């Protein structure tokens, strides 16, 4: 697929933005605190740089895309699991229980995506691996997005204490995952408008990367934010007691 001038410009800007984010995470000493996020964007940067080098060789470019996206799919799952545990660091039993549940959910998503992939490639349209891979990617992207939204809803309901950086990472990854999933879905429905969707996706991605690069700072690990029912202190206190009770109950069950 030949890129338009706008797509090429946004592509180069995205590469610059992701490199800027990686440097910021390293300089702010956050790469060790968020290793999954750092690895995800490191792979993204490598994929895009290598893709630029081999952009004129369609076969090699396609292989780079498929390998890079496959690795990023796995890393995206790691990002979600890591952010979930960091967000619930003060409720360790609840974090462990949720982590196990998410492990099973993502395992089912991968199996469903692989079934979709092989069905498309071998049965529905022999040799049609790009379509099959996009379906695999879309399936896992959708599950990732749903899990992120559920985690966000949980945090907006219960008064959970987390660092400001975790809140920014989680909120940003919700938006980042949504634009990826929505773009793939719309491009599949209206392939004649794929260039338009590509421009919107890359513009959205660029904004997310730049904002992350500026807001993620070392001092954000020391600043605590309380989510959920900030507009109703009495209800927030009741929910906080309820949350601690759930965590204590899960700890008791784990010991028994």
Rounded-to-integer distance, Cα 136 and Cα 142, Å? 10
| DSSP letter, residue 3 | P
Q: Give residue 69's Cα distance to chain centre.
A: 12
Instruction: Judge residue 90's burial from the number of C-beta atoms within 10 Å of its C-beta, 0-12 exposed, 13-18 middle, 19 or more buried.
Output: middle
Give tens-digit pLDDT for 88-109: 888 888 888 888 888 887 887 7
Q: Show the beta-strand stretches assigned E in 68-191.
A: 161-163
Predicted confidence at residue 120, as pLDDT, reads 58
Averaged pLDDT in 10-residue chunks for the chain of 256 residues: 81 94 95 93 91 78 78 86 85 82 79 68 48 68 80 81 89 84 79 84 91 93 80 77 81 72
Contact 228, 157 (CB under 8 A): yes
Predicted confidence at residue 127, as pLDDT, reads 45
- Domain ranges in the chain are 5-255
Predicted confidence at residue 187, as pLDDT, reads 76
Phi, psi angle pair for 56, to nearest 5°: -85, -10
Rounded-to-integer distance, Cα 64 and Cα 202, Å? 18
Q: Dihedral, CA atoms, 188, 189, 195, 199, nearest 10 degrees?
A: -90
Predicted confidence at residue 63, as pLDDT, reads 76
User: β-strand 161-163 against 224-226: which pairing, if any?
Assistant: antiparallel
Phi, psi angle pair for 207, to nearest 5°: -60, -45
């Amino acid at each position: 697929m030949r890129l338009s001038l706008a797509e090429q410009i946004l592509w180069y800007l995205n590469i610059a933005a992701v490199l800027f984010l990686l440097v910021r995470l390293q300089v702010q000493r956050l790469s060790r605190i968020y290793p999954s996020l750092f690895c995800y964007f490191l792979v993204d940067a490598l994929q895009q740089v290598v893709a630029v080098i081999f952009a004129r060789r369609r076969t090699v470019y396609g292989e780079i895309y498929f390998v890079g996206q496959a690795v990023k799919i796995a890393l995206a799952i790691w990002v979600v699991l890591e952010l979930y545990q960091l967000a619930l660091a003060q409720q360790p039993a609840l974090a462990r229980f949720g982590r196990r549940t998410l492990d099973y959910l993502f395992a089912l998503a991968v199996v469903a995506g692989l079934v979709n992939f092989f069905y498309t490639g071998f049965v529905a349209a022999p040799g049609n691996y790009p379509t099959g891979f996009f379906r695999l990617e879309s399936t896992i992207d959708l599950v990732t997005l749903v899990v992120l939204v559920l985690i966000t809803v949980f945090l907006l309901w219960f008064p959970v204490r987390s660092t400001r950086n975790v809140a920014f990472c989680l909120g940003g990854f919700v938006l980042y995952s949504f634009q990826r999933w929505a773009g793939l879905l719309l491009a599949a429905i209206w392939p004649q408008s794929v260039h338009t969707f590509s421009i919107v996706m890359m513009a959205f991605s660029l904004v997310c990367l730049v904002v992350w690069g500026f807001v993620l700072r070392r001092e954000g690990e020391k600043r605590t934010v309380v989510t959920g029912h900030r507009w109703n202190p009495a209800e927030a206190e009741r929910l906080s007691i309820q949350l601690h009770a759930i965590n204590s109950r899960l700890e008791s069950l784990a010991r028994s």
